[in-house]
Structure 1
Amino acid sequence: MKATEYLIKMFEQEGIRHLFMVPGFHVDPIMSALQIFPDFTGIVAAHEGGAAMMADGYAKVSGKFGIVAGIGGPGITNMMTAITTAFSDKTPIFIITGDAESNLQGRGSFQDTTPSNFDANTFLMPVTNKRLVVTHAETLKPHIDSLLRNMLGVNRGPVQLTIPSDFENCEINSTIKKLSPSLYHPRSLDREACDKIWSYLKNAQRIVVLAGMGCLHSESTEELVHFSENFEIPIATTLAGKSVFPENHRLSLGVLNWFGNPRAIETILGDEIEVLIVLGSRLNQVTTAKWSKKFLPSKALIINDINENSYFGNFPPDLFILGDTKTFLAELNRSSDNKILRHSISERKKWIETINKKIPQFYDEENLSSNKIPIHPARVIKELRAVMPKNTILFSGEGASGFIASHYWICYEPRQHFTQVKSMSPMGWSIAASIGGKAANPNVPVVSIICKSSDLI
């Protein structure tokens, strides 16, 4: 089969059904190859940046990865903001760029992205996990395999493959093997470090879990709910982790910080917490109230993450446990040592009842039923939530619109809320990403909430 057909067949075997692109001479063979695969759809965007943001949304909703294709040169520069956003968010995106024919490179050919003209590697190096160039037909398969391993696994993120146009139609004779599930969801745990957690929990009553985006990557909702209910431990989430724990649950504190929910903010930044267990969060400015010293609990900060280098070092933990959050929580749930937590269940239950009674779920709750004209944004979100099905997916935009939407919108299941208000927060992301999200899950309603200028991007 041709190289472009090999690529699409490999993607299709992984359960991917969409590719986002802007056509151009150097990637036109991909358009031709799509005609052979009736169950695989190419979605054409007006701008490469929009196509890459669609791939971002597709990856987030599907839990797999997104694919974007475009020409080299301006195609790459147009994608840069979207690629950087995905990189900062650890979203796996497979980027395909077409290039000038190999025998024309370095000779002043049109849109040549080799080091002799316009070095795409230099642009992409800081914001991709790996970049490879096909230099011969035989290098295509090993390059794809290498990029997939670097895109997924422990350190997820975008990767890029450059294919000179004369190699796009070359013949590939190779068997396609499905990727190991462990690449999508690596399972590991430092059990020696995990065993030490019980000494920190032994005499602690007021314990809170802060669940981050790593819980979504690990698909650990079931274990998290089990842990919370078994031991009466309240759960807060980061903005990135919103939806990993059902927000209508009596043990939900909501989102911590920057337009988060008062129960999470006042509880975690108060002076009552003894132990805070952080799951899969980088502890950035948005999450920690600008690195407030009040974020630290009185006895111990415990961090669990699959990558020890992923979290920022603003709050050195008393105990770091290397491993994915699902395996970590499963170990806590089945450990014989968890009887330590059972002794303080009744006290925690009273504490949680007090929190729910004294602290409202939202700020300014009177705005939820306000009759003011123009209509208050809080009421818009409340009414929208009321008419939309429980399984609706929300993409919230940048700025105030995103903060308000994330604050008042209630999530019931994982992968129901996505935002870029973390480090990049580019305008226009929500619209494009929601298109990709809808392609990934066409049977579920998808809503995009944006500020008034985003539709101009």
Structure 2
Amino acid sequence: MVVNSLESVGIDHVFLVPGKLIYPLLDAIDNSPLTRGIVGAHETGSAFMADGYARASRKFGVCAGISGPGTMNFVPGMAAAHADRIPMLYIAGGISSHAEGKGAFQDATPGGIFESGVVRSLVTDIVELKNKENTQAEMRRAIEGLNWMRRAQSFISIPVDVQKQDVLPGQDVARQPYAHREFNACEVPANRAALDALCDQYLFQSKRVAFLVGSRGNDAETAKLLLEVAEGFHIPVATTLSGKGAFPEQHALALGVYGFSSHSRAARAINSDELDVLVVFGSDLNQRDSMNWSRRLTGGKELFIFDDSFDSPAMGHISRQGIFSGISASFRLLA
């Protein structure tokens, strides 16, 4: 049921470190015709690999390990995914239900190290599965927000004895790997009125415009559209550190990275008051992405921030309002 739930939403890779407490899950992955297990040397590496998979595929990342020390090793990767709002599912295999709270080795329940309390601030949803009857519903709850609109993170703990129990799938989570492909392709629509205004007032005029692209505009499909738009309008493009890779840095229009570890060309261009307008896509301009909240970022120019995150942005230092618009859809419309 666990693997079927992943298959049904198009997840084809799970990054993991083997351990006795997830052997039944590993058998299910091994028997899956679609989902492949990728073994890491360490749980921290698996968490970052799954994070990278999510950023590149625009699906959600999945990593698995034993509870207790395995989950504790997930924490650095959890923190990175939480900071950049990357949709992630963390699966931990726990000790048998009958052994909980008895001082068992690697007991991560409230009677042991209470791992769910440790990771609570780093994930959106915590599921502690205690019986097989709830598997389908709890997997649905864990996966519900793992898309590039909600950008949630979920942690699910499954005791090893529960992993061994067979569960008959319901009609809506059968082994139909392509039935829900649109789940991962869901896209926030473009704000056409705002983009029309951007074109009419700036892009179609003799205005000096630059783009700054953040992490939420950094995937292969969006990168192709961004390149087409930049070349079509001849607009120079900088990226934030987490947006690095969204635009080819050897391109004549590339400014490089702006913000933390900034390239000098990007800093000069973005901070220049010779720009008429700076258009930001997919970044909330936090300290890292705004060059320590530089006043020159907004000085002497118009600033438009297009984003498709449902979370409240950390932009109290900027007086301009953001524009809610799908990043990929925005570039597609501009193209």
Q: Which amino acid aligns with 1:181?
A: E
Cα pair distance change 1:51/1:309, threshold 3 Å = closer
The equivalent position to 1:8 in structure 2, one of 3, 6, 11, is 3
Deviation at residue 209 of structure 1 after TM alignment: 1.1
1:168: Cα distance to partner? 0.5
RMSD: 2.8
Q: In 2, Cα distance between the equivalents of 1:100 and 1:86? A: 26
Displacement after TM superposition at 1:167 (Å): 1.2
Mind listing any 5+ residue stretches in structure 2 that lack a counterpart? none
Report the CA distance between 1:64 and its aligned residue: 2.5
Deviations 1:405-445 (A, max 9, x none): xxxxxxxxxxxxxxxxxxxxxxxxxxxxxxxxxxxxxxxxx
Unaligned runs of 5+ in 1: 1-5, 334-457
* Residue correspondence of structure 1 range 169-318 to structure 2 within 5 A: 169-174=164-169, 175-177=174-176, 178-191=179-192, 193-194=194-195, 197=198, 201=202, 205-217=207-219, 219-307=221-309, 309=311, 311-316=313-318, 318=320
Over 3 Å counting, the alpha-carbon distance change for 1:259 and 1:106 in structure 2 is closer
Report if the CA contact (8 A) 1:271-1:298 is conserved: yes
Name the CA distance, whole Å, in 2 between partners of 1:188 and 1:275: 23
1:90 and 1:156 in contact (8 A); partners too: yes
Q: Does 2:135 match 1:136?
A: no
Aligned equivalents of 1:35, 1:332: Cα separation in 2 = 44
* CA–CA distance in structure 1, aligned partners of residues 136 and 91 of structure 2: 14
Flag the 1:93–1:143 CA change in 2: closer, same or farther, 3 A: same
Match of 1:152?
Answer: 147
Distance in structure 2 (CA, Å) of the matches to 1:98 and 1:232: 52
Q: Distance in 2 between matches of 1:165 and 1:330?
A: 46
Higher mean Cα deviation, 136-145 or 211-220?
211-220
Contact 1:193 / 1:320 at 8 angstroms: preserved in 2?
Answer: no
Number of the residue aligned with 1:441: none
Q: Does 1:74 align with 2:78?
A: no
> Per the alignment, in what secondary structure is the counterpart of residue 220 of structure 1?
helix
Residue 294 to residue 119, structure 1, CA distance change in 2 (3 Å): same
Report deviation, 1:303.
Answer: 0.3
After superposition, the Cα gap between the structure-2 partners of 1:230 and 1:271, relative to the gap in structure 1 and judged at 3 Å, is same
| 2:32 equivalent in structure 1 | 37
SS of residue paired to 1:64? coil
1:162 shift after superposition: 0.9
Amino acid of the structure 2 residue aligned with 1:96 = I
Select which of 93, 96, 112 maps to 2:91. 96
Q: Quote the offset at 1:314 in angstroms.
A: 4.6
Larger Rg: 1
Query: What is the percent sequence identity of the aligned residues?
Result: 31
Tell me the alpha carbon deviations over residues 385-414 of structure 1, each in whole angstroms, 9 at most, x when there is no partner: xxxxxxxxxxxxxxxxxxxxxxxxxxxxxx
Q: TM-score, normalised by structure 2?
A: 0.85
User: Secondary structure of 1:160's partner?
Assistant: strand
Out of 100, 119, 141, the position equivalent to 2:114 is 119
Q: Would the alpha carbon gap of residues 67 and 332 (structure 1) be closer, same or farther in structure 2, given more than 3 Å must change?
A: closer
Structure 1 counterpart of 2:182, one-letter code: P
8 A Cα contact 1:130 1:160, kept in partner: yes
Q: Relative to structure 1, is the Cα distance of residues 278 and 158 closer, same or farther in structure 2, using a 3 angstrom cutoff?
A: same
- For residue 105 of structure 1, the aligned residue among 100, 104, 110 is 100
Q: Which of these residues, 313, 326, 350, is aligned with residue 328 of structure 2?
A: 326
Query: Are the equivalent residues in 1 in contact too, given 2:213–2:280 (CA < 8 A)?
Result: yes
Residue identity in the other structure for 1:225: L
Counterparts of 1:228 and 1:45 in 2: how far apart (Å)? 38
Structure 1 residue 57 corresponds to structure 2 residue 52: yes
Cα distance in 1 for residues equivalent to 2:226 and 2:99: 56
Residues 1:214 and 1:312: Cα distance change in structure 2 (over 3 Å): same
Shift of the 109–259 alpha-carbon distance from structure 1 to 2, 3 Å rule, reads closer
Q: Deviations over 1:35-71 (max 9, x none)?
A: 4236654343343222222322333333323322122
Structure 2 vs 1, CA of residues 203 and 38 (structure 1 numbering), >3 Å: closer, same or farther?
closer
1:274-316 Cα deviation digits (max 9, x unpaired):
2111000121333322111111142421100002535321542
- The amino acid of 1:187's aligned partner reads V
Structure 2 counterpart of 1:140, one-letter code: T
Name the count of aligned residue pairs: 328
